[in-house]
Amino acid sequence: MILFIYVGCLMGFLLLGAIRFIKGPELSDRILSLDTMTILVTSLLVILSIILDKAIYLDVAMIFGVVSFVEVIVFGRFLEKEGHSDSH
């Protein structure tokens, strides 16, 4: 029962992250919200694995987490090269 409450909270947080991703206003805000949403989706995959008692979802969550980490590094390099840094 408590896991379903966690899922509901994570879905709400995912919605808030999507709103921040759409509204912006800076590119760095969008990248940060995308990273937050990938962490939330990874958490949802782990909870799904517990609810359905399937270990395969843990493997998917781990691969998704690694891809998410690489995605943040690539976007960070892009911001660094393009000069979109918020620090002046």
Q: For 16-45, what is each residue's pLDDT tens digit?
A: 999 999 998 888 889 899 999 999 999 999
pTM of the model: 0.83
Predicted confidence band at 3 (pLDDT cuts at 50, 70, 90)?
A: confident
Spatial CB neighbours of 61, under 8 Å, sequence gap ≥ 6? 42, 45, 46, 49
The answer to whether the beta carbons of residues 45 and 64 sit under 8 Å apart is yes
Extract the tokens encoding 64.
Answer: 């998704």
| pLDDT over 70, % of the chain | 94
